[in-house]
Each structure stands twice: as C-alpha cells, then as structure tokens.
Amino acid sequence: MSRLIRELLSSKGFSLLETFIFQIQTVREKTFDLTVSSQRKQTSEQMEDDFRFFWNLNLSFPLERFGIDPNDWIVRCLCGSVLIRTIYLGHRTAKIMLISRLSFEHVGTRFNVRGINDDGNVANFVETEQIVTFDKQECSFLQIRGSIPLFWEQPGINVGAHTVKMKPLELSLVALEKHFIQLKRVYGKILVVNLLGSKKGEFALSTAFQSALKSSSHFDVKIVSFDYHAEVKQSKENLRFLVKQISSFFDENDFFYLDDGIVLRRQHGVIRTNCLDNLDRTNSVQTLIGIRALFNQLTCLGVEKFKSNIILRCEELVRDMWQKNGDQCSLIYAGTGALEGKSKLRDASRSIVRTIQNNLMDSSKQEAFDLILYGHLLADFNFVKISQIFPSSLLKECPNLEAFVEREKEFCVQIPLKIFCGTWNVNGGKNLNNVAFKGGNLLSSWIFPENLFNKEALNYDLIAIGFEEIVDLNTNNLVKASTTNQRIWRDGLKQTIEIWQKNNFGSNAENFVVLCCEQLVGVCLILFARSSLLNSIKDLAIEEIKTGMGGTTGNKGSIAVRLTINSTGICFACSHFAAGQNEIATRNADFHSALKRLKFPMGRGLQDHDVVFWLGDFNYRISLSGDEVKRAINLNNFEYIAEYDQLLQQKNMGNVFTNFNEGQLNFPPTYKYDTFSDDYDTSDKCRQGIFKNF
C-alpha cells in the first residue's frame, strides 16, 4: 500500500513526497515535533485538540482504540517546508529555522480548492514560524496566511485573468464566524493584511470580505488593505508604508522568548496575510514582516555584540530562506515556484507551467491529496452519509460509524421541510408578464397556488426554479451566453417571494436568500432558501455538463446543485434534453450522461443523496397525432395521453429515471402553443404535444 501511495504521489511531475517532513529525533533522544509551534509546546496552552498540521493523524486512531499511546509508534508528518541555517559567531553558533506548516483541513490545488469550507477552515492555510536559537535561548515569531474566508471559486478554464465567482454573502457569514473564532482561540489578536487589487474580480472579493467582517461579531479585527500590484508598480519603497501601518500591532503583540527553559515573553497576536492565491504577493509581504521580526529577535538574543554587521548578514540569509520557503509553498499549491518579479523570463516560464498544471493536471493531484487524507472511504456511500454528520477528521476514527449510518432512524429526529420545485421553458423570452400570467394572474400564482393549498403549506423552506431557453439558442449565446435574462428572472422571483411573505405573514415574514443562480447557455437553475435555515446548510456545491452536439456545446445540458441540511443530503438537477419526435435514444443518452458525469466534491454523485429533485424540459413527446391529443385534452382524458408519453414509457422499461417518482399527470401538455396565446399550435408545421414535467 505504501508503495502504491508513493508511486501516486510521485507521478506526473507532482513530487508531493518532497513536501512531507517528519519530526526530528535529537541526539538526546528527545523528539522535536514540527507540527506544533514553540510557544504551544513550551507553555500551558492546550495542544490536545490542535492537529491541523498532523497529516498522518488517521494512523493514530487504531492504536488509540486499543489504549496504545500513538506517540510511541507514529512519527508525526508535516506538509510544508523546513529550512535551517547556521550563523557562525566566532567559536559560537546561532541557528535560524523557518518552518511552514500547511493545514490539511481544507487542502487542495490552486483552482480545485478556494475560499472557506463549512467548518471555518480556509484553503492554503499556512502557519510560518521563524525561530532563532543561540546558546540556551530561543526566539520564535509566527505569522499565517490563508485564502479569503468566504465561499468563492474560479471555475472553468483559467488562463490570464480569472473570473471570481462568489456564493451568497449570508452563507459565508456563518463560516467566517467560525474561522475567526478558531484563529482567536489559537493565536489571540488578529490583524488582517489584505493584498487584493482593484481588478474586477479581486475588488469585488475584497469588498465582500471587508463587508462580511464588519457585519460579523469580529468587527474588532482590523483590516489593512494594500493594493500590492498598484503600489509596488509605482515604487517598491511604498512597501515601507505598509510596514508602518502594521508596526503598532507588531510591537504590541511581541514574540515568544525562551531562556534556559523559562518562558520570558509570549506572542499575543498574529498577522494574517492574504492575496488571491496567497502565493507571490503574500510571500513578498511576509518576507518583510519576517525581516522586521528578525531584528527584534537578534536584539533580544544579544547576537549583534559578537560580530559586526551580523544583523545585515542575517537579513540576507533570511531573505534567501523566505524565497525558498515561498517556492516550496507555491509548489504544493500551484505546481511551480513563486513569481518573484526579479526575472521576467523566469516568471513568464513559471506562469506558463502554472497554467498547464492548473488546468490539465491538478485534478489528479487533488485525488492524491484526498487519497492520503480519506483513503478508500472516498466516493463510498457510507462515507458520504458519515461526512454529512461528523467532521472529516473523525471519518476513520471509529469503526462503529458505518453501523450508526445503518441505524440512523434510531438516532435521528426528523424535521419536516417544505420544498417547491418548478420548471419552465420560457422560449428565450424575458417578459415576466407574458401570456402565462394574462388575465390579472401574477407570478406568485405559479409558485404559491393559493387555490390549492393554505398559506402554511405554501410557506416553503426551499424554492427551486429551473428555466430552459432563458436565452435564444443562437450562435452568439452558445459562445458566450448573456446573463441579462437570468438577472431579470432572479430578481423578479425574489421580489415575488418577498411580497407574498409580507402579505401573508406581515412582521413575521422571513427573507429568502439566493443560494444558487447558475446558467448554462439556456438552462438556468435558481435556488432560494429562507434565511433562518442558513445555519443548518453546508456543503453547497454546483456542477454542470454540456450534452449538446455530443457534449461539445451547451445548447442542451444539465445543472445540479447539492447541499446538506442538518444531516440530510439534497440535490436539485435541471436539464434540457435533445429535441425531436424520434430522438428517444438521444434523450436517454442525455439522461445517463448527466447521471454519470455530474460529480460534486469528495466524489459525490447525483445518486449519493437522500433526496434528488430532477426537473427540466426533458423533451419526451407524446406518440399520438396532434388531433388525437387535442380531443383527449378537451375530454380531460389525461390518463389516455399518459399511456403514450415517451418519458413514462421509457421509465417503465427501466431505461431512465429508475427509482425516481413522479406526481400524477393531471394537467394538459404544455407544448406547443401559438406565441402569446393559449391555443395549441395552429401552424402548418404542427407537432404533437409533450409533457413538461419532472
């Protein structure tokens, strides 16, 4: 097994093994644990629950179950960088160590893992410790980096400027609260150095971050915003202004100092630096902060009195160490060394390699990370169920977890959830008040049919709306679809929901949040959730696939969104299958393509959920002539029509939608009407009606 993992990690140019370092066994047979900082080792601060950098933690669980101390058998493994240099002071020596620890709690490659997860852990979270030792003295200074603590991503092919896509800010607030609670518990006071720029995506992300932090209970956390690219482009001397802004926090929170085993000083706060990737810009600023700390460390140790110019020599040495440290951190996350700005040719070469790595090879590298951390459980249905209930760190800890899943009904309390699902092929139109709502009817009569249900039954928790042909399926939209209609429908639906809530519940009306508004050319899926439900929602993920022209274009395709509410996994899928009276096999193929290819993080598929709602324009026809269909409609003989429904026929044959249930078809076919009329197609090119259902 170890050989297979080694081969996997070393394959395809990843060389991940070079990034794993094991704890050091000293001459005195004392173990130096690299996964924990000097201050946390030497003080009374609790270490028992801090395993963020203990990458082979899962190996200890089987030993603990049998009462065996895992520290006697397991060498702790760290992913990151360890650099050690010796300084000669006459016949005496001092040592400088730079340790970067990558957290495994939300780990992955550059474009596969971004932002924050539901537990408050951010991507590319690295704790870097700068240690200087001399005689029996030791000085340690910590700083951290991590992705912007919001739900955001950069989907698609990433070349040049990358599109930043954010999830609802209301959803991010819950995770952001957890993130800063954890940071304060471990490090004390926090100062955020935000290096995001003024580009469209970065500016929106930076603004959202600052707004979220001010809206949270952590408004005491100060943010220092510094547009690194713009400021350094003018002059590198502008970096001094940044150092001045953080000097007061730096001096107030000190560093850790140990003399002959006695703790004399402690670090009471930490600087959290971030840019978009937490690589090149962050490396540069953390180097400056490290140099600033080095002067205080050397002064505290009294090193400068042993040799002239020793501080200058140490600064040069530490700059080189930080450069190599930055390369190693960048190699893990982006696949190349850091871009330093010193050599345009080398930076250009690394940028090209990054682009190739990130778009073509990172998915395999991500699989290697997941295999190390989760092993064979990944993509197993029990794994999916367990991960909805327990933190990821416990997935291998107890063998009884699988038995727990099998007996979940004995341990779980069921809470009712009201969900509305609706789908509509809007024929590329953008008029909210078209023929479907003529005669004074409103959009609310579709979502809230008060003639059928009372207001309590209509007080939904989730509302999922799927549109097909939200734009005209022309060449221009196939290349780059307009999102204007999407925004019109989203805002119109949100306004309709809020008005209905206010009219029926007055001051007790609840706000609804747009959890998802995703468009694939003509297919659009919008998911609303009541705001009081947000604390129960986690693992929100969105995926899409194209099925038009053999999977090359998005004129036909599917969008799916999944989420976990408490411990129940729910998935919504919206599809537009192939048209044509005789294209039954193609529609079946579109269904199976969506079922197989729609994959969410951690190996989840559509069927790996407790409940799946599949809606859309499936384009299955009625195998009757138009005249026969119209006669049956006039007689309200929908059962007769349903006998010739291609979808029901294929479902009964076991070809599609196996194990899916559909409500009774008690409405007339919805295709095809004359434009701006509720009369069925009267043109010479009249086709049979079809059901538009789910």
Q: What are phi and psi of 120, to 5 degrees?
A: 90, 10
Could you tell me the pLDDT band of residue 427, with boundaries at 50, 70 and 90?
A: confident
Residues 232, 267, single domain; the answer is yes
Q: Are 20 and 14 in contact (CB under 8 A)?
A: no
Residue with tokens 């001092």: 94
**Is 16 contained in some domain?**
no
**Is 595 contained in some domain?**
yes
**Is 521 contained in some domain?**
yes
Q: Are 101 and 78 in contact (CB under 8 A)?
A: yes
Q: Are 53 and 78 in contact (CB under 8 A)?
A: yes
Name the token pair of 93.
Answer: 């020596």
Q: Are 576 and 557 in contact (CB under 8 A)?
A: yes
Q: Are 571 and 607 in contact (CB under 8 A)?
A: no
Q: Are 134 and 114 in contact (CB under 8 A)?
A: no
Whole-number pLDDT of residue 398: 60
485/497 Cα distance (integer angstroms): 18
Residues 209, 257, single domain; the answer is yes
In sequence order, what are the residues at sequence separation of 6 or more whose Cβ sits closer than 8 angstroms to the Cβ of residue 458? 420, 448, 449, 450, 500
691/621 Cα distance (integer angstroms): 7
Q: Write the pLDDT tens digit of every residue in 113-127.
A: 889 999 899 999 999
Q: What are phi and psi of 245, to 5 degrees?
A: -65, -30
Residues 266, 313, single domain; the answer is yes
H helices within 375-479, ranges in order?
A: 381-387, 401-406, 408-411, 444-447, 475-479
Whole-number pLDDT of residue 440: 52
Determine if the peptide bond prior to 672 is cis (ω within 30°): yes
221/202 Cα distance (integer angstroms): 21
Name the token pair of 423.
Answer: 């789908």
DSSP 539-563: EEEEEEEEEETTTTEEEEEEEEEEE
- Maximum CA extent, the chain: 105
Could you tell me the pLDDT band of residue 568, with boundaries at 50, 70 and 90?
A: very high
- From 599, 619, 639, the end of a domain falls on 619
Is residue 430 packed enough to be buried (19+ CB in 10 Å), middle (13-18) or exposed (0-12)?
A: middle
- From 374, 391, 423, the end of a domain falls on 374
Whole-number pLDDT of residue 85: 94
Q: Write the pLDDT tens digit of every residue in 15-38.
A: 444 566 666 555 455 567 888 999
Residues 185, 281, single domain; the answer is yes
Whole-number pLDDT of residue 238: 85
Residues 315, 273, single domain; the answer is yes
Q: Are 546 and 584 in contact (CB under 8 A)?
A: no
Q: Are 567 and 539 in contact (CB under 8 A)?
A: no
Provide mean pLDDT across the span 149-155: 89
**Is 399 contained in some domain?**
yes
CA distances from 587 to 435, 552, 582, 612, 619 (A): 29, 16, 10, 19, 8
Residues 423, 343, single domain; the answer is no
Q: Which domain holds residue 406?
A: 382-412
Q: Are 402 and 382 in contact (CB under 8 A)?
A: yes
* Strand pairing report for 222-225 and 512-520: unpaired
DSSP one-letter code for 73: T
DSSP one-letter code for 674: P
Residue with tokens 């003295």: 137
Q: What are phi and psi of 304, to 5 degrees?
A: -65, -20
**CA torsion through residues 650, 653, 659, 665, sign:** positive
In sequence order, what are the residues at sequence separation of 6 or more whose Cβ sits closer than 8 angstroms to the Cβ of residue 304? 298, 310, 311
Nearest residue to 181 via CA among 220, 147, 228, 235 = 220
In sequence order, what are the residues at sequence separation of 6 or more whose Cβ sits closer than 8 angstroms to the Cβ of residue 187? 142, 144, 267, 269, 270
Q: What is the CA radius of gyration of the chain?
A: 30
We report the CATH number of the domain holding residue 419 as 3.60.10.10
Instruction: Check pLDDT > 80 for residue 668.
Output: yes
CA distances from 135 to 26, 95, 324, 409 (A): 16, 10, 26, 62
**Is 20 contained in some domain?**
no
Residues 454, 512, single domain; the answer is yes
DSSP one-letter code for 104: S
3-state secondary structure of 293: helix
**Is 156 contained in some domain?**
yes
Q: Are 624 and 432 in contact (CB under 8 A)?
A: no
Whole-number pLDDT of residue 107: 85
* Strand pairing report for 20-22 and 222-225: unpaired
Q: Are 80 and 101 in contact (CB under 8 A)?
A: yes
Q: Write the pLDDT tens digit of every residue in 250-300.
A: 999 999 999 998 999 999 999 999 998 888 899 999 999 999 999 999 999
Residues in the chain: 694
Could you tell me the pLDDT band of residue 342, with boundaries at 50, 70 and 90?
A: low
DSSP one-letter code for 131: E
Q: Are 481 and 474 in contact (CB under 8 A)?
A: no
**Is 455 contained in some domain?**
yes
267/280 Cα distance (integer angstroms): 26
Q: Other CB atoms closer than 10 Å to residue 295's CB: what's the count?
A: 13
Q: Within 13 Å and on the Cβ side, how many CA atoms surround 122? A: 28
Q: Other CB atoms closer than 10 Å to residue 679's CB: what's the count?
A: 7
Provide mean pLDDT across the span 584-591: 95
Instruction: Check pLDDT > 80 for residue 391.
Output: no
**Is 169 contained in some domain?**
yes
Whole-number pLDDT of residue 292: 93
Residues 403, 422, single domain; the answer is no
Instruction: Check pLDDT > 50 for residue 5.
Output: no
Residues 402, 425, single domain; the answer is no
Average pLDDT, the chain: 83
3-state secondary structure of 402: helix
Percent of residues in the chain assigned helix, strand, coil, to nearest 5: 40, 25, 35
Residues 350, 441, single domain; the answer is no
CA distances from 48 to 54, 101, 502 (A): 12, 17, 50
Residues 532, 422, single domain; the answer is yes
Name the token pair of 63.
Answer: 């030993």
Provide mean pLDDT across the span 303-330: 87
Residue with tokens 């760190």: 393
Q: Are 51 and 154 in contact (CB under 8 A)?
A: no
- From 313, 347, 374, the end of a domain falls on 374
Is residue 649 packed enough to be buried (19+ CB in 10 Å), middle (13-18) or exposed (0-12)?
A: middle
Domain total in the chain? 3
Q: Write the pLDDT tens digit of every residue in 154-169.
A: 875 555 556 888 988 9
Whole-number pLDDT of residue 11: 42
Whole-number pLDDT of residue 691: 42
Residues 222, 278, single domain; the answer is yes
* Strand pairing report for 269-274 and 137-145: parallel
Angle between helices 280-301 and 310-334 (to 10 degrees): 150
Could you tell me the pLDDT band of residue 9, with boundaries at 50, 70 and 90?
A: very low
Could you tell me the pLDDT band of residue 210, with boundaries at 50, 70 and 90?
A: very high
DSSP one-letter code for 338: P
In sequence order, what are the residues at sequence separation of 6 or more whose Cβ sits closer than 8 angstroms to the Cβ of residue 305? none
The amino acid that residue 330 corresponds to is S
For the ranges 19-23, 56-60, 199-203, 421-425, the lowest mean pLDDT is seen at 19-23
Name the token pair of 535.
Answer: 């604390």
The CA dihedral of 296, 297, 301, 305, to the nearest 10 degrees, is: -60
Whole-number pLDDT of residue 16: 47
